[in-house]
Structure 1
Amino acid sequence: MKALVCILLLLETFVFVVQQQVDGGLNENEISQQISSEDGRQNPPQTDTLRAEASTDRQQYCHLCFPDIHAALRELTATVTEQKGNIRALETRLMDEMKKKNEEISNLTLGQEELRKENRDREIAFSAGLTQSSSEYIGPFTTHITLTYRNVFTNIGNAYNPITGVFTAPLKGAYMFRVSVFDLGGSTSTAYIVKNGELVVMANDVQAQDRLSSSNGVVLILEVGDVVYVRLWSNTRIYDNENNLNTFSGFLLFPLR
């Protein structure tokens, strides 16, 4: 582009010179001055122009390479702030989830403990014989007496008291009870299961000679605190020894609400 401008200027100068020569002419010095004047007017000092162009190019290059570093920093700061907010929200959500899980685990553990306790409460069973080792007759008595089965085989839940011979229901439910009686004969043996002072079922046998035995059982619905025990009928007797011929047993079938 610069070369074309120079050529045009030279052509313009040439035409001017020719015109002057046609009109009356110019001397050589005038022509030289004219050319110098035109060249100086149309072509300013190259050094300043090149410097200005170089500065402009550098600015344009900087703008191209670094469009707006402040804008970029602002955008980066906004991004970091946004990510921090996201991280805080994520941490909060994770903490809430962990708290919820811990509560669920705690509730599950508590539920398991309650279930184990409930199962332990449901573990109720006992069985006992009259004597521990000696052979002895019990009865006859002139009145009914409560039998104390002192030789305890099983007493899960400790609801049976071997000192009093009384079973006390620790929770409401359906219970199974059973009693057996034995004697060597020549008498009458009668024992019965009692619930809260009332006769429920009886085991009875009468033999003029030889041995006699009998047994009976019943399922009872008991409330908490109800009592069950065995009584020997008046004027009857039983015989027991180390073979545990007379027994009293009971256990919880299932609880009731």
Structure 2
Amino acid sequence: MRSDALILLFCLSLGFLCDAYVLQQGDNVSETKSSLELPVLWDELQGLTELVLSLRAEAVERRQLLRTLESRLRDREEEAEHLSQQRAELSQQRVEMNQLLSDLRKTLEEQKGDLKVAFSAALTDSGSVGPFDQETTLIFSKVFSAVGGAYNPTEGVFTAPVRGIYFFSFTAADFLKGYMGLYLYKNNQPIIFNLNLNDHGGYASTSSNMALQLEEGDRVHLTLPASYRLYDDSRNFSIFSGFLLFTL
């Protein structure tokens, strides 16, 4: 609107300038006055021309800016649509992953029902074990059977692979007079202390067994109390065994 008004003003000024020029030719009396006014009008006309050109250039710049903003808006709309598609794909992938995890859990539960865990190991071929100055974990290193990989013959420790009921038994022997005995531990808690007094000399033994409920990762082992001793050789007097009864 402003540009149109200025163009109209420009045309009116041009007409006025032409009228002034005609009057100059027809009226010698006002020749001097018209000669003085024409430069002023011409300067005003040039100023209006420059203003119109400036407004046109400004309008061109604004149209260019508008096109740039419209292009950016289209880009943002395309990005938003792309992100929406990605969210939909991620949502579908999440559903598929949850289904896969559910299937894996079901498979693991089925496998637990078929899980087989058992071990049996003798103490040593070296003869006497102990006495020690402090309570010591016994390492039953002569493995006869080890199914399921739950017993570690290097540490003498059984680690429950699944939650369930396990059965453990042990037998220990010695041939000298005195006390012999064993602790059975679940993690750091003593569960059984089995004691026997060999008061006559010669071979004597002690045995015990029990069923334990274990959580996955629970550890079971036997220890020899301080100042106690045991004996074992190739005849396997001292044995530690265990197996999984059923899972829970």
Match for 2:219: what amino acid? Answer: V
Matched, 1:173 2:161: no
Aligned to 2:145, which of 154, 171, 185? 154
Q: Distance in 1 between matches of 2:189 and 2:172?
A: 19
Match for 1:151: what amino acid? Answer: K
Measured after TM superposition, the shift of residue 160 of structure 1 is 0.3
Question: Contact 1:178–1:217 at 8 Å: present in 2 too?
Answer: yes
Question: Contact 2:130–2:229 at 8 Å: present in 1 too?
Answer: yes
Give per-residue Cα distances to partners, 1:204-244, cap 9 Å, x unaligned: 21113222110011111100100000000111100100011
Which residue in 1 is equivalent to 2:27?
none
Which residue in 2 is equivalent to 1:194?
185
Aligned to 2:232, which of 223, 230, 240? 240
Which residue in 1 is equivalent to 2:128?
137
Measured after TM superposition, the shift of residue 186 of structure 1 is 1.2
Larger radius of gyration: 1
Q: Distance in 1 between matches of 2:119 and 2:241?
A: 6
Measured after TM superposition, the shift of residue 113 of structure 1 is 7.4
Which residue in 2 is equivalent to 1:254?
246
Q: Distance in 2 between matches of 1:202 and 1:213?
A: 14
Match for 2:163: what amino acid? Answer: K
Q: Distance in 1 between matches of 2:206 and 2:107?
A: 44
Matched, 1:221 2:216: no
Give the structure-2-normalised TM-score. 0.54
Question: Contact 1:177–1:251 at 8 Å: present in 2 too?
Answer: yes
Q: Distance in 1 between matches of 2:146 and 2:228?
A: 28
Question: Contact 1:191–1:230 at 8 Å: present in 2 too?
Answer: yes
Question: Contact 2:113–2:247 at 8 Å: present in 1 too?
Answer: no
Which residue in 1 is equivalent to 2:26?
none
Number of residue pairs matched by the alignment: 144
Question: Contact 1:181–1:203 at 8 Å: present in 2 too?
Answer: no
Question: Contact 2:112–2:247 at 8 Å: present in 1 too?
Answer: no
Which residue in 1 is equivalent to 2:112?
118
Q: Distance in 1 between matches of 2:196 and 2:203?
A: 10
Q: Distance in 2 between matches of 1:128 and 1:229?
A: 12
Q: Distance in 2 between matches of 1:236 and 1:153?
A: 26
Measured after TM superposition, the shift of residue 119 of structure 1 is 4.7
Q: Distance in 2 between matches of 1:165 and 1:127?
A: 11
Q: Distance in 2 between matches of 1:158 and 1:114?
A: 17
Once the two structures are aligned, what percentage of the paired residues are identical? 38
Within a 5 Å distance, the mapping from 1:48-87 to structure 2 comes to none
Give per-residue Cα distances to partners, 1:95-154, cap 9 Å, x unaligned: xxxxxxxxxxxxxxx9x976874355x2001110011xx341000111100000000011
Within a 5 Å distance, the mapping from 1:4-23 to structure 2 comes to none
Question: Contact 2:122–2:140 at 8 Å: present in 1 too?
Answer: yes
Stretch of structure 1 that moved more, 176-185 or 206-215: 206-215
Gaps of 5+ in 2: 1-103
Gaps of 5+ in 1: 1-109
Within a 5 Å distance, the mapping from 1:39-50 to structure 2 comes to none
Match for 1:248: what amino acid? Answer: F
Runs of 4+ in 1 over 6 A off after TM superposition: 112-116
